[in-house]
Structure 1
Amino acid sequence: MINRLQESDIKLLRVFYAVASCNGFTAAESVLRMQRPNISAAIKKLEDRLDLVLCHRGRGGFQMSKEGEVVFQETKRIFNSFDNFVFNLKSLHDDYSGHITLVMMAGLPLNYHLAVSQAVKSTMKKFNDIHVNIQTRLYNEVEHVALSGECHLVLSTYDMVKPESVTFHPIDVKCRGRLYCAPTHPLAKYADGIPDTVKIDDYPAIGISGLSSGNYIDGERRLSIQTFSDSYDACLSAIMTGEYMGLLPDYMLEHQGKGLGLVSIKNRQFEFNHELFVMNGKNTRLNPVLRHLIKEVAYFIQQTEK
């Protein structure tokens, strides 16, 4: 088993990263500029070094093992950190080229994704030799990736106490939401407001991992959180079983939830307004490229709200 990374291990991990990203040996040949036997030998050598089976190959095609999935995610973090290090180092020499990693919170609406695409395009036009890697993370992971150096910028809502180690750039856009249930849920008949005689904590609710607990308390009423999901999309699936109610942003009803018959409990309780931010760790050097990208992301998202 490996105890310390060597330069040769990094080369082997790059081969594995390419194979996993391309979902197969054949597709990775052109990326790595290596022939398949050499790729296979490199993967076998890495498996021996790690004492793990990373992938299965055979008649069923390429498939990563559970251990391989973990190694792939960790490898992605390593190489993102390498790219960020090189980008920041170049910035010290006023060389604004290289790879930028932008993380978006999972579950943001399509129009925000399109706005980010426009912002990235604008930035790549203004600065030569800039490449932007766009990734998604779950809500409870966004603070960590901003702090860890895995990425340069994070686009996410944030409703908790803001840590001093993270810089927040407000977009001046709020993601509004409220309490929803399925049309088959017992509370669906109270769409115009829950009577005072109905105890809301008698009905199971689903929460979002990482969301501030204050969202589930409104005056004297509190939601009875029985289980958690890791994203708004997963929360929507649980709500549609008719067994749970839960908090969802209104854009879910306009996009993912359209046509599902979701019922909003319109008594102005448990409504939320979560601000949208671009965030970065204090160790991230905000050079002209990143500042321009932040400005463009804010501009194009604001345009979608008009």
Structure 2
Amino acid sequence: MTKNTTKKPPITALSGEISDLDLRLLRIFKHVVECGGFSAAEVELNISRSAISRYMSDLETRLRMRLCNRGRAGFSLTEQGSQVYKNILKLQEDLERFRSNINAVHHRLVGNLHLGLTDSTISDPNSRITGLIARLKELGPDITITLETTGPNEIERSLIEGRIHIGILPCHQELPSLRYHELYREKSYLYCDRTHPLFSYSKEQLHRSRLCDHDYVAPAYKPDINLLKQQAVLNTTARAYQMEGIANLILSGHYIGFLPDHYARQWVENHRMKALLPEQFCFETPFMAVKKNEAHPHLLRDTFLQLLLDDYSQQAQGA
């Protein structure tokens, strides 16, 4: 009797229709990756570490591949896990595009809007983001807003990867894959704390050469050309990624550093800080509304961007 040696084709992982369970497991995996491990994801997802571990095992079983290494050595993605994560981001982008296209058909604002902001802009009177979010919610009461506050570099990275729709950030460089729209300008000065040796100097006593003898804290992200020129003569011995970090180092009394005038005002008015040679050490930074340079329509993103541009255009005309 002849034995049938024909091999059956391998079963494809997630063959057929993707279920709600599959999508849930993929979402949990995405959170674990972005949190850097099970422990941090436990807080983010509000589920126990053992449950997360069980969900990851279920997903690996369904996909027939090992996605991540976990144990004493820490959390890390396998090569297959990296590919799955990249495809999850693509799937999320496709779902957002589908939702946006359906919204456009109904001319109705629903869905999720992901925004990225830099820190310390809430004290800036030129930043009108809170009022514009209120207007957007009036137009679409059912929309969901996710607001991320982080550094300019991370916002640009998130825009390129499709994790956020619009970023509002100081523009230190323009990347070809992003589209920039200027909204307003922020003015910054060089400050020191009242316990710093330079605080007691009068204008007549203070000269540029004296500043070179003191430690300076620089922003850790790439600054624009205006700041590069200003800090070229200073003695950089510390760096910080956000304004709060720069302010903390200045308030230690051991560093001088640049801060936006609106952010430093709270300490200046309490005589805790003062600007050093403000006629010489100052610069303006353009704040931009930024989106990914793509042709795909997104009703919610485009509506909010138009609200931004119209509002700042009217403000400029009334000035």
User: Does the alignment reach a TM-score above 0.5?
Assistant: yes
Of residues 22, 25, 31 in structure 2, which corresponds to 1:12?
A: 25
- Partners in 2 of 1:301 and 1:223 — Cα distance? 37
User: Is 2:70 the partner of 1:52?
Assistant: yes
Post-superposition CA distance 1:36-56 (Å, at most 9, x none): 9866632565798523149xx
Q: Give the gaps of 5 or more residues in structure 1.
A: 30-35, 55-64, 69-74
Shift of residue 278 of structure 1? 0.7
Would the aligned equivalents of 1:153 and 1:279 in 2 still touch at CA under 8 Å? yes
Q: Give the gaps of 5 or more residues in structure 2.
A: 1-12, 33-37, 61-65, 77-83
Map 1:25-174 to 2 at 5 A: 27-28=46-47, 41-42=54-55, 50-53=68-71, 67=75, 82-93=91-102, 94-95=104-105, 97-110=110-123, 115-127=128-140, 129-160=142-173, 162-171=174-183, 173-174=184-185
1:292/1:97 CA distance change after superposition, 3 Å: same
| Corresponding pairs, count | 276
Q: Which residue of 1 aligns with 2:43?
A: 23
Shift of residue 254 of structure 1? 2.8
1:295/1:21 CA distance change after superposition, 3 Å: farther
Q: Which residue of 1 aligns with 2:256?
A: 245
Shift of residue 88 of structure 1? 1.9
1:128/1:188 CA distance change after superposition, 3 Å: closer
- Among all aligned residue pairs of Structure 1 and Structure 2, give the percentage whose two residues are the same amino acid: 17
Would the aligned equivalents of 2:68 and 2:75 in 1 still touch at CA under 8 Å? no
1:66/1:229 CA distance change after superposition, 3 Å: farther
Shift of residue 176 of structure 1? 0.8
Of residues 270, 290, 293 in structure 2, which corresponds to 1:279?
A: 290
Q: Which residue of 2 aligns with 1:235?
A: 246
Normalising by structure 2, we get a TM-score of: 0.69
Give the number of the structure whose alpha-carbon radius of gyration is greater: 2
Normalising by structure 1, we get a TM-score of: 0.71
Would the aligned equivalents of 2:206 and 2:277 in 1 still touch at CA under 8 Å? no
Post-superposition CA distance 1:37-88 (Å, at most 9, x none): 866632565798523149xxxxxxxxxx9749xxxxxx99986764443222
- Partners in 1 of 2:189 and 2:87 — Cα distance? 38
1:225/1:44 CA distance change after superposition, 3 Å: same
Map 1:187-266 to 2 at 5 A: 187-190=198-201, 192=203, 195-196=206-207, 198-209=209-220, 210-212=222-224, 214-218=226-230, 222-255=233-266, 259=270, 261-266=272-277
User: Is 2:289 the partner of 1:269?
Assistant: no
Would the aligned equivalents of 2:190 and 2:278 in 1 still touch at CA under 8 Å? no
Question: Over aligned residue pairs, what C-alpha RMSD do you find?
Answer: 4.2
Post-superposition CA distance 1:261-296 (Å, at most 9, x none): 011113412201111111012026354432321233
